Amino acid sequence: MRTVVIGATGDVGRGVVRRAVARGWEVTAVSRDAARARAVFAGLAVTAVEADLRDPVDAKRLAADVDAAHLDHLVVATNVPAPLRFVLNHDSRELVEHVAEILLTHHVAMRAFLPAMPVGSVFLGIGGGMADHVVKGYAHASIAQAAQRMLYRTVATEWLTHPVVRELLVRSMVAGDTNRETAPATWLTADQVGERACQILAAPEATDGPILTLSPEGRAPS
């Protein structure tokens, strides 16, 4: 299985890469810094590629470089930090820009990859679980994550050919390489998120998407 993970050096991206490699899949890890990706995945059978998915031209170049017409899976695991701030304390333009930044890489990747990917392949985005919940100080994250969910729901409805389009909505903070020492045991781990993502990629027909959720109560195996 040929799998490309965009946002591979983030905590969630690392979990997806590790679990895909564990399944014996051929994995390409995409980040804005290929040297960092090579360091992160040293010792794993991973190809590191540099690309900026905020740039439509670079995204199309990436799709050609990884031969999107012969991919089995594309995972978009990018994320944007959401600093604590009450919503009315945001500058209005800043709030809109935060939402746009969350959507940007997903939409750019869709436009670059969906027309090229083959029948039977899977395009999977990973999103945050505050799409349904307001947490004081993080309304900007909730608004952005809800918009991302609607993007995937709409594309899955409008895109009637291929590949299969899914979003995994993670209803938990995630314990990964950057915060493992301080993360509570109640959080999902990056590898649990990665394992669930790989389950969806391996058998999308077993899901009733397009929006799938993962919570601590429904943990994927480590």
pTM score of the predicted model: 0.94
How much is the pLDDT for 218? 62
Distance, CA of 37 to CA of 5 (rounded, Å): 11
* pLDDT by residue, tens only, the chain of 222 residues: 999 999 999 999 999 999 999 999 999 999 999 999 999 999 999 999 999 999 999 999 999 999 999 999 999 999 888 788 898 998 999 899 989 999 999 999 999 999 999 999 999 999 988 888 888 998 888 999 999 999 999 999 998 777 899 999 999 989 999 898 899 999 999 999 999 999 999 999 999 889 999 999 766 554
How much is the pLDDT for 220? 56
How much is the pLDDT for 114? 96
How much is the pLDDT for 222? 45
Cβ count within 10 A of residue 177:
13
Q: Token pair of 199, please? A: 């389950």
Helix axes 56-65 and 92-113, enclosed angle (nearest 10)? 30
Residue 43, phi-psi category: left (phi > 0), alpha (psi -120 to 50), beta (remainder): left
Q: Token pair of 105, please? A: 């890489």
Nearest 10 degrees: CA dihedral of 7, 9, 13, 17? 120
Using alpha carbons only, how large is the chain's radius of gyration in Å?
Answer: 16
How much is the pLDDT for 219? 60
Q: Which domains does the chain have, with CATH numbers?
A: 2-218 (3.40.50.720)
